[in-house]
Amino acid sequence: MNVGYLKLELRRVLREPGTLLFVLGFPAAFYVLEVIIFQAEWPDSHDAYDPATILMPSMAAWGVLISGMLVGARVVNERQAGWQRQLRLTPLSSSGYLLGKVSVGMLVAVPPPLAVAFVAAAFLGVRLDPAAWVSVTLLVTLGGLPFAILGLLVGQVGTRENVQQITIIGMLVLAIFGGLFIPLQTLPEWFLYVSYVTPSYWLAELGKSGMAAAIGVEAQPLLHSAAALTAWTVALAVAVGWRYRHDSART
């Protein structure tokens, strides 16, 4: 991967304060709102589990999901402007271009879990051991790789006219059916089986894996979550590679 190109891409993202504000502020604010709703609607649930603690991995995963999916809009704009065609005339390889986009998506995904964890500790009274904090921040960030690739795939297949709709619908579908907005133990059993086929479910479980004892609920084993996310990463990477080659041949 070309380091110079990666720096260029990262600078372009950092010049978009709206994007950074969205990926930082929205998950943290939505996390606080979710906690308030759950504490108001189910006041007795606090005796069984702490909503602020049990919702934290899901909201961290939500922030990582958003960061990855936003890659698509930037890629679409470059495709429509002919930037990808220009890059094919430079020494930058196709793999270098794609890896650069995914790497930027991963770097942008670093702050959201940290912001959610900060709000949890500073304002909602969440207290965990160091291993649990690592699982809900570092592991969730690393587990966001398939979502950065998914955002890249959306950018490769979408257009300026529909990329926003595809991105928003995709984020909501993954969040709802992955159980990010509502704890799955409060939903019908069939909903859990649907969530198994979504990468967002496994990302949240990755965050819960190191803090299962603290939140008082069962969580998928770390290796299971990692294996599921790896499978999604491989499948999406193959789809991105195929689509990029197809688009290159057409242009």
Cα–Cα–Cα angle for 74, 75, 76, rounded to 5 degrees: 95
Structure tokens at 77: 């704009």
80: which residues sit within 8 A by CB, 6+ positions away? Answer: 159, 160
Question: What pTM did the predictor assign?
Answer: 0.91
Most confident of 18-27, 44-53, 94-103, 113-122: 113-122
**More reliable by pLDDT, 92 or 133:** 133
CA separation (Å) from 204 to 30, 128, 237?
A: 16, 17, 21
Q: How much is the pLDDT for 160?
A: 87
| pLDDT the model gives residue 94 | 77
Whether residue 216 is predicted with pLDDT greater than 80 in this model: the reply is no
Tell me: the pLDDT tens digits for 137-191?
999 999 999 999 999 999 999 998 999 999 999 999 999 999 999 878 778 888 9
Domain ranges of the chain: 3-250
Alpha-helical runs (H) found in the chain:
3-14, 17-41, 45-48, 51-54, 56-69, 71-81, 83-87, 94-108, 111-123, 130-134, 140-142, 145-157, 163-177, 189-195, 199-208, 212-215, 222-250
